[in-house]
Chain A
Amino acid sequence: MSDLAYLTVAEAAELLRAKKLSPVEYAKALIDRVEKHDKKLNAFIRFTPDRAMDDAKRAEAEIMRGEWRGPFHGVPYGLKDIVDYASLPTTAHSKILKDNVAATDAVVTQKLRAAGGVFMGKLSTHEFATGGPCFDLPWPPARNPWNREHFTGGSSSGSGAATAAGFVPAAIGTDTGGSIRNPATLCGVVGMKGTYGLVSRRGVIPLAFSLDHVGPLTRTVRDNALMLDLIAGYDPLDPGSVNTAAGGYTAGLGAGVQGLKVGVIRHFYTRDMEGEPEMVAGIEAAVKVLTGLGAKVQEVQTAPLGEYAACNRTLLSSEAYAIHEKWLQERPQDYASLTRERFLSGAFVRAADYINATRVRLKMTSAFHALFSDVDVMVTASAMDPACRIDDAKELDRTYARQARSPFNVTGSPALSVPVGFSKGGLPLGMQIVGRPFSEALIYRVAHAYEQATQWVGKHPPLEA
């Protein structure tokens, strides 16, 4: 069973297409794995084994008839529970929406269905993609498969946990201030926040309209590129969607990094914040690997992290408060305490503060994008620390803001979190690779070269322990 659990999407696709692996057998193996282990991890908020088997049987019948739909045909996946799947509740992990049944699929769900994917269920999230980990909600928070006493990172907590644990080879998450890349880093998987507007947000409960991104979490870079190939694309009904060419993200894999110019934003994790030494060591070792592979590495300077964070949080808190004001007025007691406090931070943001944040945003974005005249991609930290204990409120609070992800929500730049090793305590370490808008293919090319030169992909968490 463990062999099937850790198949990549690419491996599974080859076997499924060649009829060497039955989608039903594959789904059954993962269903058994979830049933055996998820009570310890809470990756799923709503596990749907019956639907998974229905999808798997349909996929099998189609593949046997020669009607192969593509790399996700017969491949299990999960959806963060703010993403609509028609006829199932989209709860946002909140009492407020526990009976909120989706009438239609989100656009990403439509695409996964059309691709013949096998839907395994809805994945745990921080409440409304912001409040977590919380123990005062109807459902428990997800736990880190590498050490169940530790945090997954959020808010796509279940997506990170399920992927790392071998419950699914691919999951959908969302990212407004780092919420794909944080669980990707802390759970040791690959997570892409693409360019703002690349993937449709339609059918996804919003946190902040101008900062929300939908994206994939997977165990390998190739799988991540395959999933982005599937879900990216213009949606005229999403006001933030960009009408530009999308797809082709696997085309450059294997081209290597010889001669590519890589800028390291070192001050984010050495001056603006001091990264935990093992995390810093992991990132610096990764930079050395890229140098050894032929990349030309140089240091780059951008605005301090605190300025990006101030801009991100002013925009986020204002937009989120506007979305939640009515519920906060009518039923504030139905939020978890942490979620409520985070949303309330937008209650008194002045209009001038919000407008100034958008003006600062435009300047920062322009200045950041100008740096790409000297480099092809950039590398920096994602989290400053490995995952802390999930029951250590003080440490969760201390490490919450210790991140370098939110700058790329402000600028809308594509940013990928990839594993760079493990702490002495066995917890994953990660870094970000960042590009100019719509340069996801180049980011994947660099990440793939790094991944192939290292051994992190083959390591899996000890679920039996």
Chain B
Amino acid sequence: MANEVTLEDVRTMAADVGLTRLTDQHLQELLRATQTAQARRAAMPKSDLTPADESAHVFRLNGSDR
């Protein structure tokens, strides 16, 4: 995704994921929301993650699932 996402970018991306009924107002909302999400991604402290750093969601079966 380009750093500066545009309205046309989100229109195309929205269509790709089935969001085909969004009005122009909705697309403006989506543009703002996408920019917000990009800012969040930038703020995520992931630079010191190593391959050994696992996800908080590890698929685990119960001991009773025999």
A residues bordering B, Cβ < 8 Å? 210, 303, 306-307, 309-311, 313-314, 317, 325, 328-333, 337, 340-342, 344-349, 353, 355-363, 365
Contact = CB atoms under 8 A, between A and B. Distances in A.
B57 to A, nearest CB: 5
B19 A357 contact: no
Contacts of A325: 17-18
- With most chain A CB atoms within 10 A of its CB, the pick from B17, B20, B33, B56 is B56
A458 to B, nearest CB: 42
Nearest to B45: A307
A361 B54 CA distance: 10
A359 B30 contact: no
Interface in B4-56: 10, 13-14, 17-23, 25-26, 29-30, 32-34, 36-37, 40-41, 43-46, 49, 53-56
Contacts, number: 101
Nearest to B62: A236
B37 A345 contact: yes
Contact of B44 (A307, A331, A345, A365): A307
A365 B45 contact: no
Interface residues of B, number: 32
B40 A310 contact: yes
B1 interface: yes
Contacts of A303: 45
B44 A357 contact: yes
A359 B33 contact: no
Contacts of B14: 347
A95 to B, nearest CB: 15
A410 to B, nearest CB: 9
Contacts of A311: 44
A328 B33 contact: no
Pairs A-B, 6 closest by C-beta atoms = A345-B33, A310-B43, A341-B29, A358-B55, A344-B33, A362-B56
A132 B17 CA distance: 26
Contact of A360 (B17, B22, B36, B49): B49
B21 A331 contact: yes
Nearest to B25: A337
Contact of B29 (A313, A340, A363, A365): A340
Contacts of B10: 348
A359 B17 contact: no
